[in-house]
Chain A
Amino acid sequence: MYIYEKKGRYIIDFQDIPAERAEMPEIEVEERQGNFKEVETGFPEEVAVAEAKRCFSCRRCLGCALCWAECKPEAINFEMQDEDLDLEVDEVILSSGMQRKIRPIAGSYGNRHMNVVTDLQVERMLADTGASNGFILRPQDGEIPKKIGFVQTFGSVDDKVRDAALILGINEAVIAQKRIDGVEISFVSPNMDAFKTSAGSDLDKVSGITFINGTVVDAAEVGENKDIELKYEADGSEKTETFDLLVLLTQPQLPPIIEGAAKRLGVEVDYASFLGKPGEIVETDKPGVVLAQNV
């Protein structure tokens, strides 16, 4: 059922390895009163061993050399070393890179709820070369969502950066509308009113999307299908709405390699410096250093 099963790469759910993380047993609240007894009592042995078996033992390449043995052109070479290159150049072009920051809802573990994804994940789902051949699928059951919420969870950033994040989401929503009949889509952003003003008539291009000026409070899994119940504040009151799929809008930011380069060059840039003149090259106040604007 998992979309991980596509394309012949499998993750097997072994029967003896639990999917859920082990819970720490605790003494009852009544038992804690007026004393300092230890609250958490520790894993029993069988729980600890089962929990330890859940570990993926991440080590990336183990050096097993199966690929090396299989490679007919003998291209794989474990002896290859890192290289240090010295270059001399006449001009440096900085671009914005591809990194974004995810701000999870209410401090939970990243995307702990299966049906909460990021805009970048949706982008990969929609791409032909992506994970699900252009379909938006719920990670939990592989179903096509009928009601999608896009939420901005990051705080105030430069207006241009905020607009870029929202526009990416809106474009994804428009594609979703074309690919899923009758899909319901809402956006929640604390800066929605400001965005509407800055987007102006460009927003007339879209229809059938609800835009809410509100702040996300919490998201919880509900029901057997693990739909996402979103709590947000809008118009001075707390509201609740359930979605099949919730999409976190990520905050565009410069990756360290570009920030580091800019700092070394003495050029002051942030993500917003790469927005505004799509596809063009923009000069900086430092000769020989230019910015390639986002496309």
Chain B
Amino acid sequence: MAEKNVLIIGGGIAGVRAALAQADAGNKVFMVEDFPSIGGERISQDRIINDGDFFTAPDLAAVKENKAIQVIDSAELRSLVGENGKYKVKIHRRTPRVDREKCDDCGECIKVCPIHMYDDYNEALEWRTAVDFFNKGSGNYNVFKEDMPVCQRTCPINLDIRTYVGYIADGKYAESLAAIRKKLPFPLSIGRVCPHPCEFECNRGYKDEPISICFLKRFVADHEVYNDIEPTITVSDETYPEKIAIIGGGPSGLTCAYHLALLGYQNNITVFEALPKPGGMFLVGIPEYRLPKAILAKDVEFVEKHGVEIKCGVRIGKDISFDDIRKDYDAVLVAIGAHMGMSMRVKNEDAEGVFEGVKFLRDAGLGNEVPNKGIAIVVGGGNVAMDVARTGLRVGFDEVNLLYRRTRKEMPASPWEVDAAEHEGIKFHFLVAPQEVVVKDGKAVGMQCLKMELGEPDASGRRRPVPIEGSEFVMDADTVFAAIGQVTDTSVVEEKHGFKIGRKFNFEVNPKTFETNVEGVFASGDAATGANIAVRACAGGKTAAESIHKYLRGKK
């Protein structure tokens, strides 16, 4: 048989065995693995072993000696096309920074390397240095360098966390804040409300507990406010003439405005905000006790000082038509958030005394009159439900009951929010599903509920709630709040404008550029992604600013 070229993907034991077998058969073997080294010994997972060799080890020495096998580690598969016996493969290999022909496996480099990182080969049980060989016998030395630390990579807006935390350790607070504001104009607000996905990835978590990244950001931003330090305003060297309209003065819209100003569009950016004050969900979604309005105002003021005009109380489609905006501006960003509550889909939902949780938070945030007497029921298990419940207690309800159809463990809310709500006296009722609003004289007086139990886990790993037959009961209430999700109110545009609207009632965009299908119109934040965390909305705003810049400059 003629010699074949064989590509093996995956350098575990099975891959190594296949490689040796193929080489024995006279074939040329390319073995591709994304890890910097090929596999070590493993315990069997296909049969129970009670004696003899528990570990099966791949014969790495044989692989190394076999000239017919080329190991391509640290690899990414860029393309793989072809048919039946003819495949074209493109592989990108990250450099090991070690010439393995020259390396004599003396290990001196490891002794002197000052970096300690957790050892991914040994499942973080040990520490290794930035130069390592992973498993004995592979001899695959490499110097491990990353473009971003894991926290920065996890952050939606890629904040340079290592730098700003490092500056705090050195007491250089102004430098720290400047490092944050290179990307994010809302350190006071995000430093208070972010659910900080970065902290879940923090490498310190492998040793004891993750760094309190989010609150450090808050600290350094607070330091400026509490010490009456005037924030530094960066002025762009460029000035471009194009005018840009931003619809929505929330996290995403204002971050976009800020970055456009930094890019050179200062004094040509107008933000149209429907509410009487700017801030979007920061203002009317996050309650005062988590983010004081006066603090938010400082962040907003910082954006305004960069040459951003914010017109409040202007609703597009009502006070100004979308067509007029298109006519008067060279580019438009739609960043109107997701302010419409989703329906519970239960009977009598339209009765008096039943409210959308988001509307209640909005009214409370704006200082409008809100229901506040007697007993409230909040339906939902996310962070908005926690905000509604905790706000409910504060505006004067005697009792707030929260219903959730699974258990505490499955709640999507951040665990610390759930703890705080419980601490403050919210009564949690788990494994309870609302069935029907009980109405008397057209007014809600309670909720008929059904008890649930957890069945088999579903695809998400969460156990599915199953109703217990005959377990109906009524819970009294004067007010019912539905807090089970929010969607975008797309009525700001009309059908004739031809926008593609997605399944989540969001504006469909190119995920890389945030362009909509309508030329010159971009969308970001919750309006593009569906309800999501604030820092992701900010990240979208920043990307949209870069895209708008590219679009406007490309036109010339």
Contacts and interface: CB of A to CB of B under 8 A. Distances in A.
Contacts of A29: 423-425
A187 to B, nearest CB: 12
Contacts of B116: 9, 11, 56
A97 B460 CA distance: 23
B409 A77 contact: no
A9 B108 CA distance: 13
A110 B17 contact: no
A34 interface: yes
Contacts of B6: 89-93
B9 interface: yes
B205 A110 contact: yes
A98 B87 contact: no
Contacts, number: 436
Nearest to A53: B169
B14 A95 contact: yes
A82 B124 CA distance: 27
Contacts of B55: 126-128
Interface string A86-106: 111111111111100001001
Interface residues of B, number: 149
A155 B127 contact: no
B47 A265 contact: no
Contacts of B33: 97, 257
Contacts of A10: 127
A291 B454 CA distance: 38
Interface stretch (B143-151, B230-238, B350-358): B143-151
A123 B289 contact: no
A211 interface: no
Given A42-B219, A93-B6, A287-B85, A51 B212 contact: yes
A13 to B, nearest CB: 9
Contacts of B101: 75
Nearest to B13: A295
Contacts of A81: 95
Given A155-B459, A295-B14, A171 B43 contact: yes
Contact of B125 (A139, A190, A255, A261): A139
Interface string B111-135: 1111111010111111111110001
Most central of A35, A58, A170, A286 by chain B CB within 10 Å? A58
A67 B115 CA distance: 11
B343 interface: no
A4 B76 CA distance: 31
Contacts of A97: 10-12, 15, 33-34
Interface string A277-295: 0110100001110001111
A278 B46 contact: yes
Nearest to B135: A129
Interface in B75-127: 75-81, 83-104, 106, 108-117, 119, 121-127
Nearest to B393: A33
A123 B12 CA distance: 15
Interface stretch (B160-168, B374-382, B466-474, B542-550): B160-168
Rank and list the top 6 A-B pairs by shortest CB-CB distance, nearest first: A155-B457, A95-B10, A67-B109, A155-B461, A36-B288, A75-B102
26 contacts: A9-B116, A21-B210, A33-B394, A39-B290, A40-B215, A51-B216, A55-B169, A58-B149, A60-B144, A75-B101, A84-B93, A88-B88, A89-B30, A91-B85, A97-B15, A106-B409, A110-B205, A123-B42, A127-B55, A155-B460, A155-B463, A156-B456, A203-B48, A257-B34, A261-B80, A264-B77
Given A22-B212, A92-B9, A95-B9, 19 more contacts: A36-B287, A48-B220, A49-B168, A58-B117, A61-B143, A67-B108, A67-B131, A76-B109, A80-B95, A83-B92, A85-B92, A96-B14, A131-B123, A154-B461, A156-B458, A278-B46, A281-B18, A288-B83, A292-B17
